[in-house]
Structure 1
Amino acid sequence: MTSDNTPDIIYTTVDEAPELASASLLPIIASFGKAAGVSFGTQDISLAGRIIATFPDYLTDEQRQSDDLAFLGDLVKTPEANVIKLPNISASVPQLVAAIRELQSQGYALPDFPEAPATDAEKAVRARYDGIKGSAVNPVLREGNSDRRAAAAVKKFAQANPHRMGEWTADSKTTVSSMSGGDFRANETSATLSADAKAKIVLTATDGTETVLKDGLSYPAGTVVDATFLSASALDEFLAAEIEKTKADGTLFSVHLKATMMKVSDPIIFGHAVTAFLQPVFDAHGDKMAALGVNPNSGLGDLLARVKDDAEIMAAIDAVMADRPAMYMVDSDKGLTNLHVPSDVIIDASMPALIRAGGKGWGPDGKEHDTNCIIPDNSYAPVYDETIKYFKETGKLDPATAGTVQNVGLMAQKAEEYGSHPTTFEIEAAGTVRMILEDGTVLHEHAVEVGDIWRSASARRAPIEDWVNLAIDRQAAEGCEAIFWLDETRAHDAELIAYVKPILEARGVADKFTILAPREATRATFETIRAGKTSIAITGNVLRDYLTDLFPILELATSAKMLSIVKLMQGGGLFETGAGGSAPKHVQQLMEENHLRWDSLGEFCALGESFKFLADVKDNAKARILGEAVETATQGILDNGRSPGRKVGQPDNRDSHYWFARYWAEALAAQSKDAELATHFSAIANALAEGEAKILEELHAGRGTAVDLGGYYHGDASKTAAVMRPSATMNAIID
């Protein structure tokens, strides 16, 4: 895969705030790396880039671009891979449609997104677009398991400068509500394959008609294969009851899902919530709304846009909304509710933020209120439920004294890709779904009704074993508490435990680990960090995603500053720049006020690790010196308060990059391991210091005024560079 033409380090082109920051930071990184003989290249995994790469047959030669995600998918399976992966958009349908429209406005003759494909041609286009939406990138790149933790400098700074935490009280009405049955957790079955197997998924309707939902599945021996379903009728009953309960309690109604990662299942569940909240409107006007193209899965915002000219429907909506409980808001000032867009309220960000705020969510009146947090499926809802119960009992966590939670997450080779797989289906006919092996064995079987959501997921033997061994190595390095968050009463977890225990025993470390169900593990972990100690949470894929936001947001105020290393199974390295999403509100602020508050600390942490990894793989001593100096520069950013502020008039992302470059150059000039590097960077450090006043003046010119990036999803590179690199003095020094 790799060749002499492949750059030493690949830096991904992504979306929104991280990509804007890259326009400022990457030229600095590439310039400094060149002095150590380190080459940088970029590969485009942005939403717009992936759309363009998917439809070359619709575009001109000048518009076409290579499938960079496919290239990286091959690269990460090689020992030489060294990829710095920034957060990219995991697109919901509204985001995907918006990106398509922007590209079309720029002259890209892309097909429209078929909401309800009818012809074969429309179905083919929809299939291509479906391959782009949701968390399409991470499963391709994550050919290894996850090692996430707060960098020492970041944790030290957070303890010395504790962020504000909301007060918890014992009488808080905030609660987590989940289904008591009929959900994915209740219906799950799981099996470990004893031999290589091929399989298909078949729906046999009650009239005997058979539909092959998926064929050609292939699993190696040792794969844990799950299947389950969520009952649509049970979900609807649950949601209706929760609406009434929320109204009676006087709390905010909120639904917390992940319509990005669980790109098939969760938008459907979201649509059920939209329908339930407006049920009388759908009962009275459903046919007319369907004719207007209303799809509740797309959210209340899309619904309102389609019916806005129908006075009768709008009056019915207003009447129902007035009778419903107040809703948790995304933006009170703009009237954006929890149910407006499926990708606006993402559970791993929304729940930690609410918990950090003392259980308070923003209501339509612009004030904070206790909240009913509806998480329909019970698989991982107990984590948040127990967190809330714990803080009601003990009060808020103190970031100044709290210990830290590290995470070792099972995610390699698409492990546990629940609800996003091509093996998740909305059932169209009542009957029985079976997963049938090639030899006729029925591996899984469920009786289903119309509208139920059936899904299957898997985890292969090699990633599972790698995950357990990575956990053993991390625990040995830290010497701290280590907990496998696995529930022996859950079908899937029981199969994993059958892997975990023998490996721990074979390596003689069984006494170093505990296996606890997520609820019990949550309380035990909070007790540990409240005592100022460290705990390692060893989890599956979804909990990895949830916990690497929950604990960092409570400990550090953000999850964007985590050190995130993916040790690729073939020996390469993937260095993720934190779990902070792509921050659309940051982009909005930049476009309106020319202030970017995105903090690149996650990029700094990943960069240092990437340089040191390169030093080991390619025996490049200069690269190691650069990596060590990155850590010194990062510490300088924190110690001297050079991180971006939130408001116009304060330093922003571009200021922090100036100081990062300066501290990095000064550290390289001061080191004594390589005289050539010291001499080279001494001149740069001096120039940056001497030009400080002029550089900062140039960086701040035009702050507070609107800027033109040439696009949101697919901006103009020259316009973006002009905005993000406004200091000619600094550019001359760096370039």
Structure 2
Amino acid sequence: MAGPSTIIYTHTDEAPLLATYSFLPIVQAFAGQAGVELETRDISVAARILAQFPERLTPEQQVPDALAELGRLAEEPTANIIKLPNVSASVPQLKAAIAELRAQGFDVPDYPEAPATDEERDVRARYDRVKGSAVNPVLRQGNSDRRAPGSVKAYAKAHPHRMGAWSPTSQTNVATMTEGDFFHNEKSVVIPADDTLTIRLVADDGTVSVLKSGLSVLAGEVVDGTFLSVRALRAFLAAQISRAQEEGVLFSAHLKATMMKVSDPIIFGHVVETFLPAVFEQFGDSLRAAGVSANDGLGALLAATESMTDGEAVRQAVADGLAAGPALAMVNSDKGITNLHVPSDVIIDASMPAMIRGGGKMWGPDGKEHDTLAVIPDSSYAGVYQAAIDDCRAHGALDPATIGTVPNVGLMAKAAEEYGSHDKTFEIPVAGRVEVVDGTGEVLFAHDVEAGDIWRACQTKDAPIRDWVALAVRRARLSGTPAVFWLDAHRAHDLNLIGKLEQYLPEHDTDGLEIHVMAPAEATAFSFARMRAGLDTISVTGNVLRDYNTDLFPILEVGTSAKMLSIVPLMNGGGLFETGAGGSAPKHVQQLVEENYLRWDSLGEFFALAASFEHLAQTTSNARAQLLADTLDRATGTFLDQDRSPGRKLGTIDNRGSHFYLALYWAQELAAQTTDAELAAAFGPLAAALAASEAQIVEELLAVQGAPAEIGGYYRPDPELTSAVMRPSATFNGALASL
């Protein structure tokens, strides 16, 4: 386990991992001078897969279960973890990672789509521990404090990013269910005492099957159950497909098939099937025989047709179905990748803000932008995006140079709410009644369901709720900003949270504070009105809205969610420091491999690192760690003032060049500070060497651009190859080594 002066820096996936190969050696060299150690733990999807199957690997191939270790560390008061964005693997991504690992010589099993034996069920259970939001619930043992740092907000105001123009006649809208969805079917209870619950299905023929047993709950815990009616879902989807065609707008579906790893892939599959009904009616049997699941998307279906005897007929049926329906929004119109190709390609919290920032338009098959019907089946949070669209349609695009900011305090500790539902989400096999039963046999609540319905339960423990209220009051006090709890009294779960808010708010000094409770759509309109007036508003939300809002508002305010300061004060005293979103990471990796150019912006890493140093200084009385934090903050300010973020095209500095400039400015700040003469003397020669060699280092970094780069893998790149690609300047490497 890590010591008190140790920071854990996570190895993750895709572009953040590539950037780590360039940035981490700099950080380790600088931090070492202050007696701070940085250790790495590999929580990438590839490492998580390998950790599940040690018995199938040679001793040299085996990897430790780093995620489990960090889960234990997060409970310790000394925890100090910097967490970079990781792949929340959808099934297609998981299968791709498995195929890559097998090609690299790792004997991991194939992913069983329909496990039929005990061995296959065991393999599937292990993979289920890897896919989706496997990482965040383990590490997030505290609630979330996310905001745009002042330097980033100031930069955005001085250098506003492009915003698409909004027309008052825009036909873009959100379509969401008005009945039969998770919102409308939700039931919620507060558990009176520690207990163990059972979830069971009582079929119409009287057969009882246990869906989940041994479900431990604590006194005061909020437990919810709800279901999505597939009959209602498919009727809704068919109506929206017709509506999009009638209105002449693009059709797009927006889900969270990564984090909601059980429910949303199933919903996505229903979208695919409803959009192309003739394909599945005519070729359903042969598609199933080929192992095709609509849940994996149109891309997997089309790939499977290459080896099917009637593959050409299936492809023609798909083409006919696409031509007969409304135009689909595109992920990549040049390559023909539609909204329905891959479930993890269109993630709601990234795709909807991008649409709103772009004037309410998405790309169509013709390579042009069009108004869009954004289909968000569950209505729990869909109103947030409709309210944002309505505001922009009425008042025009937001102006980044003048608008206020909307930071977030998010309830997420102990796998709160929907993101903790995966082991309690079920596709119902037969019609009947799902019951949640307490330890005495009393039915707490129940739902009548049909075959194919998606039923789920969620838990939200009392201690995290209490901590969440305290964090919101503390942030409101420190910032002098109104705080709005985004809670809807018409939703069963939220009504119970409102009751707890009324219980815990009086524990705090709220004199002079402005605190509101509003339903999400109302809170969105309120926050947008204040933004336009240049005013700030704290959004205090549950776990999913935390995810949505910390993309929506940063993307509108500063152009990206990757530049947010994201602190998780762990409930036992440690700190988790997150570095931003990773939604655009796959495109960055592709560009690096094709052109040896990495556009990923590590600004989020800079902010997280400074906060981590500061936390270490406060908890270990390490004055040099505080100096690292203070000088890194000032260096980041210079970095922004000098516009050293990665450029957008070849011939400009990329991620590696941005790291060089941060190192230069940081070394200069450390050399110039007068608090610690020994530290200043240590960094003086480095600062001078980097400044003197600036032109040569930049030339060496630019010289590699334009040619393909070999990194040895996407999900598990080769460390030596990747290090060589990400550290191409011998001059810079030599200067750093001298430290």
Task: Specify the TM-score bucket, using the shorter chain as the normaliser.
Answer: over 0.9
CA contact (8 A) 1:135 1:420 kept: no
Query: Which residue of structure 2 aligns with residue 163 of structure 1?
Result: 161
8 Å Cα contact 2:33/2:679 also seen in 1: yes
Tell me how far apart the structure 1 counterparts of residues 336 and 660 of structure 2 sit (CA, whole Å).
38
The equivalent residue for 1:704 is 706
Question: What residue number does 2:480 align with?
Answer: 479
User: Where does residue 251 of structure 1 map in the other structure?
Assistant: 249
Structure 1 vs Structure 2: percent identity of aligned residues?
59
| 1-structure distance, mates of 2:335, 2:46 | 27
1:182-214 residue CA offsets vs partner (Å, 9 max, x unmatched): 000000000111101100100010001111001
Deviates more, 1:507-516 or 1:393-402: 507-516
TM alignment of 1:65-76, pairs within 5 A: 65-76=63-74
The amino acid across from 1:122 in the alignment is E
Q: How does 1:215-614 map to 2 (within 5 A)?
A: 215-308=213-306, 309=308, 310-418=311-419, 420-509=421-510, 512-581=514-583, 583-614=585-616
Task: Give the Cα separation in 1 of the matches to 2:325 and 2:54.
Answer: 48
**How far off its partner does 1:315 sit?**
2.1
The 8 Å contact of residues 653 and 701 in structure 2, kept in 1 or not, is answered as no
Cα distance between partner residues in 2 of 1:317 and 1:451:
24
Is the Cα contact below 8 Å between 1:332 and 1:364 reproduced in 2? yes
Question: Does the Cα contact within 8 Å between 1:86 and 1:577 map onto a contact in 2?
Answer: yes
Q: Which residue of 2 aligns with 1:685?
A: 687
1:482–1:537 CA contact under 8 A, matched in 2: yes
- Residue 76 of structure 2: aligned partner: 78
* 1:420 Cα deviation after fit: 4.5
Q: Which amino acid aligns with 1:318?
A: A
8 Å CA contact 1:548–1:579 kept in 2: the answer is: no
Task: Say how many residue pairs are matched.
Answer: 733
Report matched runs for 1:193-208 at 5 Å. 193-208=191-206
Secondary structure of the residue aligned to 2:652 is: coil
> CA 1:418–1:573 in 2, change beyond 3 Å: closer, same or farther?
closer
Instruction: For residues 156-191 of structure 1, give each alpha carbon's deviation from its aligned partner in whole angstroms, at most 9, with x where no partner exists.
Output: 000100001011111101000001100000000001
* Alpha-carbon distance in structure 2 between the residues aligned to 1:104 and 1:614: 40
1: CA distance, partners of 2:387 / 2:584: 29
Aligned residue in 2 for 1:101: 99
Structure 1 position 307, deviation (Å):
2.1
Q: CA RMSD in A?
A: 1.1
Cα distance in structure 2, aligned partners of 1:194 and 1:712 = 49
Q: Residue by residue, what CA displacement relative to the aligned partner does 1:434-478 show, whole Å, maximum 9, x if unpaired?
A: 010111111120000000000000110100000000000000001
- What amino acid sits opposite 1:361 in the alignment? M
Give the C-alpha shift of residue 294 in structure 1: 1.4
8 Å CA contact 2:646, 2:658 repeated in 1:
yes
| 1:677 counterpart letter in structure 2 | L
Give the aligned residue type for 1:617: T
In 2: Cα distance, 1:641 partner to 1:701 partner: 21
Say if 1:79 and 1:570, in contact at 8 Å, map to a contact too.
Answer: yes
Shift of 1:502: 2.4
Stretch deviating more after TM superposition (313-322 or 650-659)? 313-322
Shift of 1:656: 0.4
2:658 to 652, 656, 659: 656
Structure 2 match to 1:87: 85
Q: Deviations over 1:20-44 (max 9, x none)?
A: 0000000000000000000110001
**Tell me, what secondary structure is at the counterpart of 2:87?**
coil
Q: Which deviates more, 434-443 or 498-507?
A: 498-507
CA deviations over 1:17-75 (Å, ceiling 9, x no partner): 00100000000000000000001100010000101111101100000010000000000
Partner of 1:137: 135
Correspondence for 2:152: 154
SS at match of 2:188: strand
Contact preservation (8 Å) 2:652, 2:702? no
Q: Tell me, which stretches of 5 or more residues in structure 2 are unaligned?
A: none
CA distance in 2, matches of 1:729, 1:315: 57
State how far apart, in whole Å, the 1-side matches of 2:427 and 2:214 are: 20
Counterpart-to-counterpart distance in 2, 1:335 and 1:127 = 34
TM-score by length of 2: 0.98
State the shift of 1:580 in Å: 3.5
Residue 695 of structure 1, CA deviation: 1.0
The one-letter code matched in structure 2 to 1:652 is D
Name the CA shift for 1:419/1:237 in 2 (closer, same or farther; >3 Å). farther
Deviates more, 1:359-368 or 1:688-697: 688-697
Q: Structure 1 residue 419: deviation in Å?
A: 7.2
